[in-house]
Every structure is written in C-alpha cells, then in structure tokens.
Amino acid sequence: MRTALLLGPTGLTGRALLLQLLNDPDFNIVRVFHRRPGGVRHPKLNEEIIDFDKLSEWKSGLRGDILFSALGTTLKNAGSKDAQYRVDFRYQYECARAAAANGVNTYVLISARMADSSSQIFYSRMKGELEDAVKELPFGRILIFRPGLLHGPRAEKRKMEGLFARLSKGISLLPGLRHWKALSGEELARALIAAAKKPPQMEKTEIYEARDIYRLLKA
C-alpha cells in the first residue's frame, strides 16, 4: 500500500489523476495540495489547502511514496511570463526539492513535448529548465512525461486546442504517426500511474515521449 502526493489536482490531467488514484487499490492515502477546496470527498483523500509562497509552513506534509506533479498554468491565466515561470518552474521545483528531502522515492512530472532548456521558445525552455533542475534532486526514481496535445473538459474554453485536437486525429491515421493524436486527460493519467507501478529501470531518470505514452496505454 502506498501514499500518493499530488500537486495540481484540479486541472485537466490532475483531476483525472486524482480520481484514478482514489479508485486504485494500490494506494491507501492520496494527499493533495492546492490553493482552494476541490470539492472531492473520499475516505482515502487528505486535502491540504496551502499557499505555494509559504512552503516552509507545510512542506513537512510532502511525505509519501510517489509525488505526481500536474501543476501548471497558461500565459493567459498567469498574466505575464514571470508569473507563469513562478508557477510552472519555481513552485514545482521547490515542492519537488522538499519532497526529496523528506524521503519521497519517486517523482512523476508532467512536462511538455519539445521541452529543452536551450530552446528559443519561452514555454519549451521553461519546461526544459525544470526537467534539468529536478534531475539533480536525490529521488530514487524520476519519471518525466512529455505528452503532445491534450484535450478534454477544462474550466476555461480553449478553441484552438479543440481545433488542433481534431487535426491531430486525422494526422494520426497516417502510417507511423499514431502518437500524434491528442491524448485525453484520463489517458495521460492512466499512463502516469502505469509507469509509476512498473519496476524501476537501470537509469534513475525515465523520459516518456508521446510514442512511449501510447505504448504504456496499449500494454
């Protein structure tokens, strides 16, 4: 029986991940950290309402077996690149560092396709910088997921996301391009949990590109 920790339980993938963890018999405690109540009730759920800018007040609660990080925002919602960087990099890195210091063994991060710390694209560079930073933390195992386009019900409407999801469906019908099809939040959540349950590999850090994610779903 394991304790799962979850950052970002209200987003597209985070919400799906929360529900799947609560219904998974391999986890007896699911501890979530977010800024406001999520409205989910379950005997296994421990919900902590926190302020990410006051990590020292609650970082002792980051104790368990696996930390899933689904935290993130958009540039539009954040309002500026600095504000988005604070959420997508600083909050995630500081929480990961605290969890590693508390003895959490496995870290599962949702990154992004084309994440690269040397990229000229702000979003890709930010995600790459986070990947590089967390790889240096003393976890026993680090799983980094780089999904492509995601689709599903969100609190805010994203018209372009729906358009690209439909286009990706057509592209995925071409030979060798199945992995270009947009993933649902539920599918990505299933892949995250499946990877976390697999026996560790030789390397400490495991990278899952879109093609690898589809292989997990087919297994």
Catalytic residues, by residue number, are 123, 127
| DSSP one-letter string for 79-122 | SSHHHHHIIIIIIHHHHHHHHHHTT--EEEEE--TT--TT-SSH
> What is the rounded distance in angstroms from the CA atom of residue 2 to the CA atom of residue 33?
17
> What is the rounded distance in angstroms from the CA atom of residue 136 to the CA atom of residue 60?
21
> What is the rounded distance in angstroms from the CA atom of residue 29 to the CA atom of residue 43?
9
The CA R_g of the chain, rounded to the nearest whole Å, is 17
Amino acid at 125: R
Closest CA to 200 of 141, 138, 122: 141
> What is the rounded distance in angstroms from the CA atom of residue 167 to the CA atom of residue 180?
10
